[in-house]
Amino acid sequence: MSINKKAFSLGNKRSVIREIFEYSKLRAKEIGKDKVYDFSLGNPSVKPPKEVTKTICKLLKKEDATLLHGYTSAQGALNVRKTIAQNIHLRFNTKLNQNNISMTCGAAASLTISLKALFNKGDECIVFAPFFTEYRVFVENAGGKIVISKPQEETFQINLKDFESKITRKTKAVIINSPNTPSGVVYTEQTIKSVCKILNKKSKEYNKPIYLISDEPYRELVYDGIEVPYIMNYYKNSLVCYSYSKALSLPGERIGYIAVNPKMEKSKETYLAVCGAGRSLGYVCAPSLFQQVIKNCINAKVDINIYKQNRDILYNNLTKMGYQCVKPDGAFYLFVKALEKDAYAFFEKAKKHELLVVPCDDFGVKGYVRIAYCVDKKRIVNSLPAFEKLIKEYKK
Ligand code: PLP
């Protein structure tokens, strides 16, 4: 084959989530949309804030076309980067400025660019299981190798002993994702402090920086007043990969940013490497209209009570029926123990009840499924009898 084999195999085999989502569309045509309980995709069901929609209309009427639809600076418009940096400083007291921010097309681009900026061939990247499956694709694309750190059973917090044992001379970076996909777990401040302590110790031992990349598309989706520690305040060699996909329900608009910690060793050089990696990957000039939308709606928020209600209905009912899962503090996923060892076999049985959940072996933990509850409340309520029938089938 003359084309790139790796690219072909990625394009030829869809992710398990996409497979299920495609199946759900076909099945809906056969039996009707309301009879298929699709919990596969993390597509926000809550509308973007009104302020966002109004701003889009206002900008389209008022602003000139070049500002809205023309190229911006490769790393993003200056007024947008300034506003974001000021906002981060106000919220988390980090002395960021516009020269630490690079606008990107969502968290996926932020991660791809950051990894490309940091990695040389053969470098290792530690990820905490369960983890977003695309990390493997992004790390390998940057020439790196993924190393999986096992979680603490039951809580899905980080297993610090296992983490420390996975760090080697080859470790270039660690990706941390809290609130987490697929568990919904938020890592505690104590956990973050311990992770950073280990990283500082190992960086010293190997006499080189080990970078901490914080993947934060779910930062704003937390319930019951839980705080998500801001990584830059705990570890200097850190980058934040942020996205408005879930925070403002704008996943199709592809907008986010990378923030490079100004306290990092050689922070300026790292920022330039980020700009260079964006350039080499063709990710210059994130969507201009949405850069300006973000500037104008910097404090806008989606109504997370809708997700919280969904979480409570699903968690309370499923656990009452006998399903096992940790109560998620954030994001919009429930990570449920399959009722048999093989999560794929469980998925097939659930499918017979029109319940479409995602088997999570590829997320680095076997025997679990992910339920995305970013759906209409009606779908959750209507699916409950099917969950009940499914567990009864296992109890027989
Ligand atoms: N990181 C995690 C943990 C995710 O769950 C997702 C999307 O679901 C992404 C990154 C990619 O986000 P974006 O749509 O902003 O590229």
Query: Which tens digit of pLDDT belongs to each residue from 225-255?
Result: 999 999 999 999 999 999 999 999 999 999 9
Looking from the CA of residue 180, the nearest atom of ligand 1 is: 3
Cα of 197 from ligand 1 centre, angstroms: 27
Question: Hey, which of 17, 115, 243, 332 would you mutate to test ligand 1's pocket, going by the most ligand atoms within 8 Å of its Cβ?
Answer: 243
Q: What is the mean pLDDT of residues 360-378?
A: 95
- For residue 195, how far is its CA from the centre of ligand 1 (angstroms)? 22
Rounded distance between C-alpha atoms, residue 240 and residue 224, angstroms: 24
Amino acid at 378: K
pTM: 0.96
Alpha carbon of 244 to ligand 1 centroid (Å) = 10
Is the beta carbon of 179 within 6 A of some atom in ligand 1?
Answer: no
Task: Note the helical H segments in 43-172.
Answer: 50-62, 65-69, 78-92, 106-118, 134-141, 160-166
Mean pLDDT (whole number) for 259-274 = 97
The number of angstroms, rounded, from the C-alpha of 48 to the middle of its chain's C-alpha atoms is 18
| Pocket lining: 358 vs ligand 1, CB cutoff 6 Å | no
pLDDT at 314: 98
pLDDT grade for 153, boundaries at 50, 70 and 90: confident
Picking from 243, 262, 114, 232, the residue whose alpha carbon sits closest to that of residue 181 is 243
Rg (CA), the chain: 21
Measure 390 CA to ligand 1 centroid, in angstroms. 30
> Using a 6 Å cutoff on CB, does residue 181 contact ligand 1?
yes
Q: Is the CB of 270 under 6 A from ligand 1?
A: no
256 touches ligand 1 (CB under 6 Å) = yes
Residue 386 has pLDDT above 90, yes or no: yes
Cβ–ligand 1 contact at 251 (below 6 Å): yes
Atom number, ligand 1, closest to the C-alpha of residue 244:
15
Quote the tokens at residue 312: 């409570």
DSSP letter at 327 equals P
With a 6 Å cutoff on the Cβ, whether 180 touches ligand 1 is no
Q: What is the mean pLDDT of residues 380-393?
A: 98
What integer pLDDT is reported at residue 65 of this predicted model? 84
DSSP-assigned letter for residue 3: S
**Pocket of ligand 1 contains residue 98 by CB under 6 Å:** no
User: Is the preceding peptide bond at 130 cis, omega within 30 degrees of 0?
Assistant: yes
Strand order of the β-sheet with 358-359 is 333-337, 368-372, 358-359
Mean pLDDT over 338-352 rounds to 96
Who has greater pLDDT, 154 or 145? Answer: 145
The C-alpha atoms of residue 388 and residue 21 are separated, in whole angstroms, by 23
Q: Per-residue pLDDT tens for 70-110?
A: 999 999 999 999 999 999 999 999 999 999 999 999 999 99
Q: Taking residues 256-261, report their average pLDDT.
A: 98
Q: Which residues, at least 6 apart from 367, have a Cβ–Cβ distance to it below 8 Å?
A: 337, 338, 341, 342, 343
CA 15 / ligand 1 centre spacing (Å): 14
Lowest-confidence range among 1-5, 189-193, 298-302?
1-5
**Which token pair is 237?**
């060699």
> Strands 256-260, 101-104: parallel, antiparallel or unpaired by DSSP?
antiparallel
Count of C-beta atoms within a 10 Å radius of residue 47: 12
pLDDT for position 260: 98
For the stretch 14-68, pLDDT in tens is 788 888 989 999 999 999 999 999 999 999 999 999 999 999 999 999 878 888 9
pLDDT tier at 301, thresholds 50, 70, 90: very high
Q: 215: Cβ below 6 Å to ligand 1?
A: yes
Cα–Cα distance, 76 to 60 (Å, whole number) = 19
Unique residue bearing structure tokens 């596969």? 40
pLDDT grade, residue 128 (50/70/90)?
A: very high
pLDDT of amino acid 149: 98
